[in-house]
Amino acid sequence: MAYITVTYGVSDFHQITNLSLSFKEGYFLYLLFFLGFGIKVPIWPMHYWLTKTHVEASAGFSMYLSGFLVKTAVFGFYKLSSSINIELQTFVFVAICCFGILDASLKM
């Protein structure tokens, strides 16, 4: 968001949708959004911190973590990635889901 705000002077979601980003720029921003929100969501392969956190955290923080933090990160990732109008969303999500399923089944 800082890159978009500094480069284009825009911070409103409706104005971000109207930006004409190059493919490389959109892909780079999508990758940064994926890394930033992927740790909070958590998306495979950046999800290993979550199991340890739920085990060691108090019940109140565990409810906050699963009830608020994760869901707002999903919404933020969806809102920003859909605003930059890049066509990789479906492919990236399907690939990550397939790798996550494969990883989980091999670990089982």
Q: Look up the domain containing 27 and give its range.
A: 2-107
How much is the pLDDT for 89?
A: 62
CA dihedral 104, 71, 32, 1 (to 10 degrees): 180
Number of structural domains found in the chain: 1
Residue 48 CA: distances (Å) to CA of 12, 17, 43: 33, 33, 9
Find out whether the peptide bond into 45 is cis, omega within 30 degrees of 0.
Answer: yes
30-70: pLDDT as tens digits: 888 888 887 777 776 777 777 777 778 888 887 777 778 77
Local confidence band at 90 (pLDDT 50, 70, 90 cut-offs)? low
How much is the pLDDT for 31?
A: 83
φ, ψ of residue 13 in degrees (nearest 5)? -60, -35
With a cut of 80, say whether residue 19 has pLDDT above it.
yes
Local confidence band at 87 (pLDDT 50, 70, 90 cut-offs)? low
CA distance 48 to 75: 21
Mean pLDDT of the region 100-106: 78
CA distance 29 to 23: 10
